[in-house]
Amino acid sequence: MIEVSRVSKVYASPAGPVSVLQDLDLTVAPSETVAIVGPSGSGKTTLLNLLGAIDRPTAGTITMDGVDLGGLDADAAARFRNRTIGFIFQLHHLLPQCTILENVLVPRLAGGWDEDNTAVRARATSLLEQVGLAHRLTHRPWQLSGGEQLRVAIARALINRPKVILADEPTGSLDPATGERIADLLLRTNEGAHVALIVVTHNPGLARRMQRTYRLEGGRLVS
Ligand SMILES: Nc1ncnc2c1ncn2[C@@H]1O[C@H](COP(=O)(O)OP(=O)(O)OP(=O)(O)O)[C@@H](O)[C@H]1O
Ligand SMILES: [Mg+2]
């Protein structure tokens, strides 16, 4: 499902180049679950951004679902992301002017999906129920706590039935019980829909529930 080959990432900055990833390789099968751990600043979010076609590697190739991400222009990358990837960001990027139900529906609207509006709203509502927010459908993101906003972002990531879920600290701001519930939801989605799941986390309990764990160290992944 995902093939990362000799990927390097160097950021340009006024203080000089910042080399974050070096010759990194990773292969993920469909419906496989992978945890990526590593200290702050080691490049975990950088790697997810490359996998999500949000940013491009300085060198190397990434193939996902048979598509070479390097060959996509910005529009094609956005379309691919919308159809294939559910991205749970470290910062949730919810739209403040929209209700949480509308926030979950944004990827459907953005993707121009052709289907019954009622069915999609029911699916969005069901996802919000599964993250424990059924009673907050008409609230705005700024009326929610950090952990509640995170849970809206998780429902939003699942609305398009992605083939790959990329999650950056999906339990970061949650208490242990709520974190367990979110892990259950992600793993249920992984099993039921054969979705590959890549989770960046500082939470050892969550990492243990994934089939494989890699540590990002010196710009590479080590088992
Ligand atoms: N646009 C950028 N320009 C320059 N340097 C950057 C840029 N984005 C990230 N970096 C640097 O790249 C390194 C890796 O950042 P990244 O966000 O991937 O780390 P992380 O492993 O996700 O950390 P955390 O656990 O704190 O979220 C950091 O040293 C960061 O300062
Ligand atoms: Mg990060």
| pLDDT digits 0-9 by tens, 68-116 | 999 999 999 999 999 999 999 878 789 999 999 999 999 888 777 767 7
pTM for this entry: 0.92
51: nearest Cα among 196, 208, 211, 170 = 196
Would the CB of 45 count as within 6 Å of ligand 1?
yes
49 lines ligand 1 (CB under 6 A): no
> Is 140 in contact with 97 (CB distance < 8 Å)?
yes
Average pLDDT over residues 164-187: 90
Rounded to the nearest angstrom, the distance between the alpha carbon of 212 and the centre of ligand 1 is 23
Ligand whose nearest atom lies closest to the CA of 44: 1
Q: What is the pLDDT of residue 193?
A: 83
CATH (one of 3.40.50.300, 3.40.710.10, 3.40.630.10, 1.10.150.110) for 2-222? 3.40.50.300
pLDDT value at residue 11: 96
Q: Phi and psi (nearest 5°) for 181?
A: -65, -40
Q: Is 117 helix (H, G, I), strand (E, B) or coil?
A: helix
CA of residue 90 to ligand 2 center, whole Å: 6
pLDDT at 64: 97
Q: Does the C-beta of 42 come closer than 6 Å to ligand 1?
A: yes
Is the beta carbon of 43 within 6 A of some atom in ligand 1?
Answer: yes
Distance CA 115, CA 192 (A): 22
Ligand nearest to the CA of 47: 1
- Provide the Cα torsion 55, 61, 67, 73; round to 10°: 40
**Which one of the ligands is nearest to 38 CA?**
1
| Token pair listed for 77 | 């990358």
pLDDT in tens, 107-165: 888 777 767 788 899 999 999 999 999 999 999 999 998 889 989 999 999 999 999 99
